[in-house]
């Protein structure tokens, strides 16, 4: 069977499983997947669904978003935003109203920064010459 482009994910899962001192069978049981299927994921032969990654992450007590990025389901930027939101929502020291206010502030800063980045990119595009001079023209 040809290896898919998930070797990085498989290596990472194996490393996390060993760090957690779990056998392949123990992790498979905890995640609710078959032992052979988990073995194939670790060897890069199978690409798991987001649901399976969620179950494995829960069993390993690691971030599912990290596994999503390694599997190519989520890009790094999206993961950072999701993790920030998750940390805010999981904080037991602030109440629900405070969490919502923090998320609104966070969203407003992201929108403001995205708008500034778009303006800077537009200005750079306008400043660049539309047609570079041709070296062969007199």
Of 47, 27, 43, give the one whose Cα is nearest residue 35. 27
Which pLDDT value is given to residue 5? Answer: 41
The helix/strand/coil state of 77 is helix
Number of H helices, E strands in the chain: 7, 0
Q: What is the pTM of this model?
A: 0.55
Residues in contact with 42: Cβ distance below 8 Å, sequence separation at least 6, in sequence order: 10, 11, 13, 14, 17, 24
Which pLDDT value is given to residue 130? Answer: 58
Which pLDDT value is given to residue 59? Answer: 95
Which pLDDT value is given to residue 98? Answer: 94
What is the rounded distance in angstroms from the CA atom of residue 83 to the CA atom of residue 104?
15
Ranges of residues in the chain whose predicted pLDDT is under 70: 1-7, 79, 129-138
Which pLDDT value is given to residue 4? Answer: 42
Q: Is the dihedral of CA 89, 14, 3, 31 positive or negative?
A: negative
Of 61, 58, 52, 75, give the one whose Cα is nearest residue 10. 52
Which pLDDT value is given to residue 129? Answer: 66
Q: How many CB atoms lie within 10 A of CB 27?
A: 22
């Amino acid at each position: 069977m040809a290896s898919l482009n998930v070797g990085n994910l498989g290596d990472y899962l194996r490393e996390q499983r060993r760090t957690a001192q779990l056998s392949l069978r123990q992790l498979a049981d905890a995640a609710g997947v078959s032992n052979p299927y988990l073995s194939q994921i670790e060897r890069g032969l199978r690409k798991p669904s987001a649901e399976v990654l969620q179950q494995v992450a829960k069993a390993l007590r690691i971030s599912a978003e990290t596994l999503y990025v390694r599997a190519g389901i989520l890009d790094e930027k999206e993961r950072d935003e999701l993790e920030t939101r998750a940390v805010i929502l999981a904080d037991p020291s602030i109440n629900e109203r405070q969490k919502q206010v923090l998320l609104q502030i966070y969203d407003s800063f992201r929108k403001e920064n995205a708008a500034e980045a778009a303006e800077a990119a537009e200005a750079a595009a306008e400043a660049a010459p539309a047609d570079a001079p041709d070296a062969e023209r007199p």
